[in-house]
Structure 1
Amino acid sequence: MLFQFGSKSYPKSVQFFSVIIACFGGIALGMHYGWTSPVTPILKNLYTDLSDYQITIIETLYMIGGLLALPLTIFICDRLGRKKAILISAIFNLTSWIMIALSKSLTTIYIARFLCGIAGDIGFVAGPMYIAEISSKSIRGLLTGCFFIAWLTGIVIIYSVAPFVNLTTSSSVGAGIVLIQLTTLIFLPESPYYLLLKKNEKKSKQSLMFFRNTHNIELELNEISEAVERQEKEKGRLIDLFKDKGNRKALFIMTILNASQHMASISVMLMNLHTILKDAEGIIPPESSAITFSVVMLLSATITISTVDKFGRKNLMIYSSTLTCISLLILATYFAYKEHDGDITNIKWIPVVAVILFAIVFKGGMGMVPIVMSGEVFPTSVKSMGMTIADAIYVIFGAVSIYIYQGLVIVVGIYCPFYLFALCSFGTLLFSIFCIPETRGKTLEEIQMILKGVKNEPCQNGEVKKEVIRIKSFENL
């Protein structure tokens, strides 16, 4: 089917509309991720005996569901397809919203949070994968980034709606967004890439014609076929991630980068922002500050996606980790001064400025660069396994950061975890300076040579000379 408006045909219009449909799931998942921050005060009113430990359980069940869903995610994406995986994620997503809307007990909310964690893991893998495989290479980066923008949009929505309505209403908004996806995605074809993997060339051709809005797809179909054949020949084993020097470095880099996001307090912020701002007693109501925070973070992420190839991954990480550390130090010092009976009358503007600065600078590098680099540092043969392990690290440290925060707040005070998160951000700065290779403008092959410590230089006779280069921080890996 070709889509025309008047006498003109818009070849990429189908891709944009398809990506919008796929991104509805990202919006609903973002709403789930930020849900506990505005809803915790509501839950405390509904359940007057709600303890800090129970709040921690509600927050971390999302992470636990995502972690346990990793094997299921791999199976569904590989055996059932990217489109069906998104639909399954949407079903889990919708079920969790319905359970929250109808909940009469904390047990129901616990189960709902676990289910939305499963939905999140499947959706975060299948969604970007589907988008990448249906997109033209000229706009693939832009369209794939749209999923993460949709996720942040979901946080903006839940922060803007949940504080002012009851649980049923805010859950209905999330359920409505998922229903839009379920009733539209079923009409889209499976990705042409996956169909070729399953040896269904006829349907793959039909899918590609649909998404390219043209019958002239033979050249691209051949390119996809060659890529699929190459991938099947290059299938690696799990042990190859650890035996190969370059793979070890890639895994090491992504482990630290994914852990650093949470140890810079991003999950703590998103899941507890309203409570943090309420404790800070700032000059602006927590609800308004949180909405501003989420909007600023969305804008910062959008700008970063469009500039990451201009300024480079390494430079953005250095800038982001430096200012993230500063913003957390400011917030921690404010809380320490307040808890030790300091007069905050004239400095109530500080916590609002600190969290807004955090929103700008975190998504200006630490929150986006790892997403970009995860698809660059692993070779094709072990990319799926490497990214899956990196995703597991991301989820694990999300839960760890929440437990650390809640524990330190109770034992020491709210300022203590933010000093720790600031220290971790400083550690990320040092790691960015000494350990992260710059991948901007490099081909995937060149990146692999850098990680292996090999530099290709042309000789006078036209042959390629390989020179061993050292990244001093990696010499013992």
Structure 2
Amino acid sequence: MNYGWSAPGIQVLKREDSPIHLEANDYIWLESVYIIGGIAGLPVTIFAVDRIGRKWCILFSATVSVMSWLLIGLADRVEYLYVARFMVGLSGDVAFVAAPMYIAEIADEKIRGFLAGIIYVMMLIGILIIYAVAPYVSFYVPSIIGAALASIQLVTFPFMPDSPYYLLSKQKPERARLHLQRLRGSENVASEFEEITAAVKRQQAEKGRPQDLLLSKGSRKAVLIMIVLNGAQHLSGISVFLMNLHEILLAADSVYMSSEIAGILFASLMLISASVADFVIDKFGRKALLITSSLLTGLCLLVLAIFFSLKKSDMDVDGISWIPLVSVMVYATVFKFGLGIVPIVMTAELFSAKVKALGMTFSDLFYLLFAWISVEVFQRLAITVGYDIPFYVFSASTLLTALFVQIYIPETKGKTLDEIQFILKGIPFPPRSNSIRANSLFCDSNEYKDDKRNGE
């Protein structure tokens, strides 16, 4: 809800009966300070996910979210909005690292993609709520809804099981076994528990220093993949649309429906698409969804860019003014079917246990930086040269992403977290029947010895 708040929220604040007076620069900064808060949350995230655990980081995030919603609802000056947006950017950064990590570590690999994808489905439900409610009610009402939802999490989530991976990393094997039994609904977890124990021991034997993100072959490849995917998400314009959708449709003179109704439809299509993708991601795999989504998203952005070029050249586009609306709605569908949901699933899959917190936080840094860059690129270019140029940039970026996915990204569907580490290192994984012995087999291999010499 906070991610999508600025699009309808700023429109409400522009009204004559607005409870807060804003200057022109305030509208831009209300978008940017959210991202700045996320960047400020990076050191908190690095410290917290391994020190207090994934579960309690999620609860910390919910607590800050409640406080920020209360501040927004009670604000009578723009400074309070700045503080609230900064706070929720920080809490969002912690949550979007801790939650995927938690889910990846508690889930069976057969449904890991589905469960990780629920994070994005929930995010889209929040965007839909804020788009559907904010334009039609008093300014403080969305804050009541947001605070209530976060409060439900604060009341219920403390009773959830903790991550067995995290408990083992803290030398708490008995608690880890009990929590794994709760997660599986069975006491017969000996085989999986041994696999997890072996994986944690092997991955903890690797160095967890920041430089190991670049020295280790597997981590280096994971970092590059996540930088590209996080960049692709935002350089395909998603933050621009979520924060400026109403403004873009008004600039296109698309009169077939109001911008408020278009926002609700946009969020609804994203929600439906992400929900469908969540059910098929473990069937069709990550690569197929990424490539298809990237190609179709790039085409939608190209069509939108061409329309704005025609409009800028004073061509009569009244007869085709439906094109921007259709392009934006198709974009919402095809983006969320792959490019909008797969990266968050893969973020929690690619890094080994020892550098997972560091790697995911590093990825989140680039996620936030690219979000900021995309918003700044759009705002500056739209003012100086028109709306078409930023959409040409976004289209080219998205089409190049499809090529990168095909050439460089491995398929992680149906693989355990330990298998994925072998794939990234380019080392054959032992047969699944011998997976409990994977740790000793891996340590005896020449490749592992070479890795040790190279700091990998």
TM-score range, shorter chain: 0.7 to 0.9
**Equivalent-residue separation in structure 2 for 1:380 and 1:202 (angstroms):** 19
Alignment match, 1:88: 60
Of 318, 323, 327, the match for 1:350: 323
Of 393, 402, 410, the match for 2:383: 410
Taking structure 1 as reference, are residues 134 and 441 closer, same or farther at Cα in structure 2, changes over 3 Å only? closer
Of 75, 78, 92, the match for 2:50: 78
Unpaired segments of 5 or more residues in structure 2? 432-440, 448-456
Taking structure 1 as reference, are residues 141 and 420 closer, same or farther at Cα in structure 2, changes over 3 Å only? closer
Q: Alpha-carbon deviation of 1:206?
A: 4.3
Q: Alpha-carbon deviation of 1:355?
A: 0.5
Alignment match, 2:133: 161
Of structures 1 and 2, the one with the larger relative CO (CA 8 A, separation 6+) is: 2
Whether the 8 Å contact between 2:36 and 2:86 is mirrored in structure 1 is: yes
Q: Alpha-carbon deviation of 1:440?
A: 4.5
Whether the 8 Å contact between 1:56 and 1:403 is mirrored in structure 2 is: no
Taking structure 1 as reference, are residues 428 and 221 closer, same or farther at Cα in structure 2, changes over 3 Å only? closer
Whether the 8 Å contact between 2:49 and 2:357 is mirrored in structure 1 is: no
**Equivalent-residue separation in structure 1 for 2:205 and 2:409 (angstroms):** 29
Alignment match, 2:451: none
Whether the 8 Å contact between 2:72 and 2:80 is mirrored in structure 1 is: yes
Of 219, 228, 231, the match for 1:247: 219
**Equivalent-residue separation in structure 2 for 1:144 and 1:366 (angstroms):** 14
> SS of the residue aligned with 1:354?
helix
Q: Specify the code of the residue in structure 2 equivalent to 1:296.
A: L
Instruction: Give CA-to-partner distance per residue, 1:159-185, whole Å, 9 cap, x none.
Output: 111111122011111111111111222
**Equivalent-residue separation in structure 2 for 1:227 and 1:457 (angstroms):** 13
Unpaired segments of 5 or more residues in structure 1? 1-30, 469-477
Instruction: Give CA-to-partner distance per residue, 1:302-358, whole Å, 9 cap, x none.
Output: 222332344343333332222111111111222232333333332221111101111
Q: Alpha-carbon deviation of 1:451?
A: 4.6
In the superposition, the TM-score normalised over structure 1's length comes to 0.82
**Equivalent-residue separation in structure 2 for 1:107 and 1:159 (angstroms):** 23
Q: Specify the code of the residue in structure 1 equivalent to 2:160.
A: L
> SS of the residue aligned with 2:293?
helix
Alignment match, 2:345: 372
Q: Specify the code of the residue in structure 2 equivalent to 1:98.
A: L
Q: Specify the code of the residue in structure 2 equivalent to 1:59.
A: E
Whether the 8 Å contact between 2:206 and 2:354 is mirrored in structure 1 is: yes
Taking structure 1 as reference, are residues 187 and 290 closer, same or farther at Cα in structure 2, changes over 3 Å only? same
* Mapped pair 1:359 → 2:332: yes
Identity %: 46
Whether the 8 Å contact between 1:61 and 1:113 is mirrored in structure 2 is: yes
**Equivalent-residue separation in structure 1 for 2:334 and 2:351 (angstroms):** 27
Taking structure 1 as reference, are residues 228 and 376 closer, same or farther at Cα in structure 2, changes over 3 Å only? closer
Q: Specify the code of the residue in structure 1 equivalent to 2:308.
A: F
**Equivalent-residue separation in structure 2 for 1:37 and 1:235 (angstroms):** 44
In the superposition, the TM-score normalised over structure 2's length comes to 0.86
The 5-angstrom pairing of residues 232-271 of structure 1 reads 232-271=204-243
* Mapped pair 1:103 → 2:90: no
Taking structure 1 as reference, are residues 171 and 414 closer, same or farther at Cα in structure 2, changes over 3 Å only? same
Taking structure 1 as reference, are residues 255 and 189 closer, same or farther at Cα in structure 2, changes over 3 Å only? closer
**Equivalent-residue separation in structure 2 for 1:395 and 1:434 (angstroms):** 25
Whether the 8 Å contact between 1:43 and 1:50 is mirrored in structure 2 is: no
> SS of the residue aligned with 1:315?
helix
**Equivalent-residue separation in structure 2 for 1:309 and 1:189 (angstroms):** 24
* Mapped pair 1:280 → 2:252: yes
Of 284, 291, 301, the match for 2:274: 301
Q: Alpha-carbon deviation of 1:116?
A: 0.3
**Equivalent-residue separation in structure 2 for 1:215 and 1:312 (angstroms):** 31
* Mapped pair 1:320 → 2:281: no
Alignment match, 2:85: 113
Q: Specify the code of the residue in structure 2 equivalent to 1:308.
A: I
Taking structure 1 as reference, are residues 336 and 50 closer, same or farther at Cα in structure 2, changes over 3 Å only? farther
Instruction: Give CA-to-partner distance per residue, 1:23-45, whole Å, 9 cap, x none.
Output: xxxxxxxx010111111111122
**Equivalent-residue separation in structure 2 for 1:204 and 1:246 (angstroms):** 27
Relative to structure 2, which stretch is displaced further, 341-350 or 441-450? 441-450
Alignment match, 2:4: 34
The 5-angstrom pairing of residues 145-160 of structure 1 reads 145-160=117-132
Taking structure 1 as reference, are residues 227 and 118 closer, same or farther at Cα in structure 2, changes over 3 Å only? same
Taking structure 1 as reference, are residues 49 and 183 closer, same or farther at Cα in structure 2, changes over 3 Å only? closer
Taking structure 1 as reference, are residues 346 and 453 closer, same or farther at Cα in structure 2, changes over 3 Å only? same
